[in-house]
Structure 1
């Protein structure tokens, strides 16, 4: 962890825990929506290929079917690069939640998705604030000329 994060009053652990909580909430929604499907519903729906591989177990994957992988997380060890990556990830999650809301007509699902979307917006704002604090910490140096986490 970059020493800069210590000075920002940002807890990576609590943010990471909250993001895992998001995954748990979405997984719970998927489980609740699929646990009582009849055999006919499973065979007639686009859920059938998923069911063959995972029954009704929650298996993290993209809507396209690509499984979640740690390879989707980009970490450079450079605070500016990593914070920009975090900003992008929050916006992608917000966009995904927006798309779910466009497709869903289930009020219970939509309430949870709106909550998760609001958290992504807050996270985006906090990462933006962290970039500003990093810039201040670097005494207005051109932070793009070097990696501040390894070069003085």
Structure 2
């Protein structure tokens, strides 16, 4: 059960209209790393969590908070669009909605949402459930969550520097702080998983004795840059061996001849005896 409280977690009052900024904030709502993504991601991680108690409660607490962040940002967008834009943005345009579009407003905010936020990014691309990660493995999920909060904080920081509006900045300061603590909590939760013996360093902690034991501790130098081996990952007791001149282990990536009914192009190739099959032979094989 979810219960909505008619109060924002943090105030969302801009000092003035700004249609262009409203469009930028759409990225923090419906972008790949936006609040809709983390809110939905954490919800499904919580619903998929098979461990009742502290881990599930942490996930669900954070998921519900993120829903509130969507509401804060959507409220800010609507308020930024109120009376937007100022007359100097689009001289000669008398209709406010048209002026806003000319001034850089997301036209879907006007046409589709009636002057409000939409579940889209800053380019109007619809938000997708494909952005979320909820695997059922807490270690893998928590590591994804750290990355999601890092990307979200990065984008919030960039938008913070794109506005001088004191009211918008106050809300973004709060969002930056929450993205900070969420990164810290997921990092701490990863440590806790390991301390509780639920997960180890590698996700999943299975099939480690089955995997190729030769290639589970090597880095292949496959770029022209030659500084990789100087990194700390190649020194110390847990050093990963850096192969500076690795050799391919497989043969040519030659695809088999296609099904004749797919009408794919197929050239003559050498058979096992070293001879070249002729067109007639190839044609017979296709018909056969």
| TM-score between both structures, scaled by the size of structure 1 | 0.84
The separation in 1 between residues aligned to 2:145 and 2:198, in whole angstroms, is 23
- The alpha carbon displacement at 1:135 in A equals 0.8
CA distance 1:9–1:95, shift in 2 (3 Å): same
SS at match of 1:103: coil
Aligned length: 147
1:42 to 97, 100, 121: 100
The separation in 1 between residues aligned to 2:81 and 2:199, in whole angstroms, is 53
The residue number in structure 2 matching 1:60 is 119
CA contact (8 A) 2:199 2:205 kept: no
The residue number in structure 1 matching 2:131 is 72
- The alpha carbon displacement at 1:9 in A equals 8.1
Q: Which runs of 5+ in 1 are unaligned?
A: 148-152
Whose helix fraction is larger, Structure 1's or Structure 2's? Answer: 1
- The alpha carbon displacement at 1:43 in A equals 3.5
CA contact (8 A) 1:90 1:123 kept: yes
| TM-score between both structures, scaled by the size of structure 2 | 0.47
Provide the aligned C-alpha RMSD in A. 2.2
User: Mapping of 1:1-150 within 5 angstroms?
Assistant: 1-4=48-51, 6-8=53-55, 10-37=57-84, 38-47=96-105, 49-50=107-108, 51-138=110-197, 141=200, 143-146=202-205
The separation in 2 between residues aligned to 1:42 and 1:71, in whole angstroms, is 31
CA contact (8 A) 2:140 2:203 kept: no
User: Whose relative contact order is higher, 1 or 2, with alpha carbons under 8 Å and at least 6 apart?
Assistant: 1
CA contact (8 A) 1:4 1:134 kept: no
